[in-house]
């Protein structure tokens, strides 16, 4: 319509405080998750005011919404801010260094542990992060073998969990992480393999057997030195050739 020179505007609404068909299923944990992402609910008065402002603007597409700039800055500091919102906050200079520091800390801890301790450490990390995303106070609310879907994870929760684990591990993780590894147990196994590939995951204190020292070839058995000393030249040559004759 706009391309034909006619008046038109599209509005991509943000979150409204009043429940709707799209947000009515969200509980306190879901709303808290949206708030952590920097998206706050619009009151009816705020929404109507933004609607009037949009009609007066000469733009084809607008995104009316209410944002928490402190939350956006926190996301930017963690390197998790959506590209669409990056122009709204100043990017910190040290954001790129944080993942390496986080990985060093976690890898150092894992490097001092046995294999069983490593598995427990990473599983506890996954369960704690999942519990935080879901609004639980402790990791005990998240069973190791429970499916994330059964726990109440949706796509937004999956992305937040991915972000938390990537920040804690100091490594990049795919957005499909939770769907590819659908339980905390499976996800922990994958994450541990990413951090410590099998070749690097030897148990502390278990050194590989040392290679045997090379031993010089003594050559043919020449017998006692006294016997050799009594041989003449022909006998020495015959013995050196293993009994053969020239």
Query: Taking residues 49-65, what's their average pLDDT?
Result: 93
For residue range 113-129, list pLDDT tens digits in order. 999 999 999 999 999 99
Same structural domain for residues 165 and 181?
yes
Is 232 among the domain residues?
Answer: no
pLDDT band at 56 (very low <50, low <70, confident <90, very high): very high
Same structural domain for residues 196 and 104?
yes
Is the pLDDT score of 30 beyond 70? yes
3-state SS record for 158-201: HHHHHHHHHHHHCCCCCCCHHHHCCCHHHHHHHHHHHHCCHHHC
Same structural domain for residues 12 and 80?
yes
Domain boundary among 45, 62, 91: 91
Q: Which of 96, 126, 25, 8 is nearest to 60 (CA)?
A: 8
Domain boundary among 58, 74, 91: 91
For residue range 69-104, list pLDDT tens digits in order. 898 888 888 777 777 788 888 766 654 445 555 556
Same structural domain for residues 115 and 152?
yes
pLDDT of amino acid 37: 83
Is the pLDDT score of 64 beyond 70? yes
Query: Taking residues 160-176, what's their average pLDDT?
Result: 89
Report the sign of the C-alpha dihedral through residues 72, 39, 182, 113, in that order.
positive
Same structural domain for residues 83 and 105?
no
For residue range 181-210, list pLDDT tens digits in order. 999 999 999 999 998 876 555 555 444 444
Q: Which of 136, 124, 102 is nearest to 184 (CA)?
A: 124
Place of tokens 């996800």: 187
Is 230 among the domain residues?
Answer: no
Residue 56: CB atoms within 10 Å: 8
* Spatial separation of the C-alpha atoms in residues 19 and 10, rounded to whole Å: 22
pLDDT of amino acid 180: 95
- What CATH number does the domain containing 124 carry? 1.10.1200.10
Same structural domain for residues 82 and 125?
no
Same structural domain for residues 85 and 141?
no
Report the first-to-last Cα separation within the chain, whole angstroms: 107
- Specify the number of domains making up the chain: 2
Is 8 among the domain residues?
Answer: yes
Domain boundary among 30, 56, 91: 91
pLDDT band at 150 (very low <50, low <70, confident <90, very high): very high
Same structural domain for residues 33 and 77?
yes
Same structural domain for residues 122 and 29?
no
């Amino acid at each position: 319509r706009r391309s034909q020179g006619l008046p038109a505007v599209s509005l991509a609404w943000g979150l409204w405080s009043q429940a709707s068909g799209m947000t009515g299923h969200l509980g306190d944990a879901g709303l808290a998750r949206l708030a952590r992402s920097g998206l706050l609910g619009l009151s009816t008065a705020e929404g109507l005011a933004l609607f009037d402002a949009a009609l007066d603007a000469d733009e084809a597409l607008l995104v009316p919404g209410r944002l928490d700039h402190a939350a956006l800055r926190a996301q930017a500091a963690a390197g998790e801010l959506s590209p669409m919102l990056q122009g709204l906050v100043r990017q910190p200079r040290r954001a790129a260094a944080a993942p390496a520091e986080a990985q060093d800390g976690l890898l150092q801890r894992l490097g001092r542990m046995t294999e069983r301790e490593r598995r427990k450490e990473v599983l506890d990390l996954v369960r704690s992060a999942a519990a935080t995303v879901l609004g639980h106070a402790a990791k005990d609310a998240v069973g190791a073998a429970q499916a994330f879907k059964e726990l109440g994870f949706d796509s937004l929760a999956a992305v937040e969990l991915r972000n938390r684990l990537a920040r804690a591990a100091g490594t990049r993780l795919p957005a499909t992480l939770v769907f590819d590894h659908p339980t905390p147990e499976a996800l922990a196994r994958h994450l541990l393999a990413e951090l410590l590939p099998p070749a690097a995951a030897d148990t502390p204190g278990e050194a590989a057997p040392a290679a045997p020292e090379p031993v010089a070839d003594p050559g043919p058995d020449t017998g006692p030195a006294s016997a050799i000393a009594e041989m003449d030249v022909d006998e020495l040559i015959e013995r050196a050739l293993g009994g053969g004759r020239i």
